[in-house]
Amino acid sequence: MNKFKNFAINLREILNREDIKIDEPMKYHTSFKVGGPADILLTPKDFQQVVDVIKFCRKNNIPFYIMGNGSNLLVKDGGIRGMIIKLIKLNHIIVEGNKITAGSGASLKDVSTAALQNSLTGIEFACGIPGSVGGAVTMNAGAYNGEISNVVESAKVVDKFGRIRILDREKLKLGYRMSSIMMYGYTVLEVTFNLEKGEYDRIKKRIDDLNRRRREKQPLEYASAGSTFKRPEGHFAAKLIEDSGLKGESVGDAQVSEKHSGFIINRGNATASDILNLIEIVQCRVKAKFNVDLYTEVRIIGED
């Protein structure tokens, strides 16, 4: 029973009716295409609405979770109690000189495209990362020898008291898949990237090359959340998984990709439980063979 849906009426004082969804299946909001219903899913359109919704949740003791486009999220089959605040509508991108300021819901692909259009270099590595700006800064996303920490200047966030703060690079405390945003439960509103002037043709060539490599090496034709596991120190997760004989291993329609062992994919009708069971099999097999612990990079939330 959804004990929070009565709050939806009060939320209409903050959000438009179309930005409030009750018992919303999360499989429509994650790249894994799985997940039970969220009691309430909200899509605020501006900073003030985000602040007001967070304050509303705290005042009424309603648990809430912040998400972007759900590309690094696994929601369990029982769904989520409380509220999901999806920031996908904060998607503005503003270019001023060599700086790009983007809303937390803007995609990294769109930011890298804006950089290319303005001959700005430094963020090409992010052209194929499927996440949003807010999520990318929260986990210091990276690929192909690049990381968000290399190009971020500052982030505008909301703290747990509903106050808007500006965090410079030092205060963001960006490490491997870690940040102060994650540590202190901040909510990202927008991010400013500091890039360098470059040559359009050279930037485009780099982006085209990275996109080609992704298409060749990653199972982009299937639903997934990208790399399922963090890189263990001194190892590569995909190699450990492959060397454990797990390539192609499956539970239901969840499968260790035969194209890239670091990806667990949904071949069509997987449940979150299938994916979670497969994750556990991978972790146990790698631990038994190599005595290495694999930890998930994908964020797992919700109830069984």
**Which of the following is catalytic: 177, 206, 214, 299?**
177
Cα 154 from Cα 225, distance rounded (Å) = 26
3-class SS at 191? strand
Burial (CB < 10 A; 0-12, 13-18, 19+), residue 60, is exposed
- Is the Cβ–Cβ distance between 220 and 238 less than 8 Å? no
Look up 280 and say whether it is catalytic.
Answer: no
Catalytic residue among 227, 244, 257, 261: 227
The strand order across the sheet containing 254-256 reads 223-227, 263-266, 254-256, 250-251
Q: E strands, the chain, where?
A: 20-25, 37-42, 64-67, 73-75, 80-86, 93-96, 99-103, 120-121, 142-143, 146-147, 152-158, 164-168, 187-194, 196-197, 223-227, 250-251, 254-256, 263-266, 299-301
Instruction: Based on the residue annotation, tell me whether 267 is a catalytic residue of this protein.
Output: no
Angle between the 200-217 and 108-117 helix axes, to the nearest 10 degrees? 150
Clarify whether 227 is annotated catalytic.
yes
d(CA 188, CA 87): 9
Q: In one letter, which amino acid is 218?
A: Q
**Residues designated catalytic:** 177, 227, 297
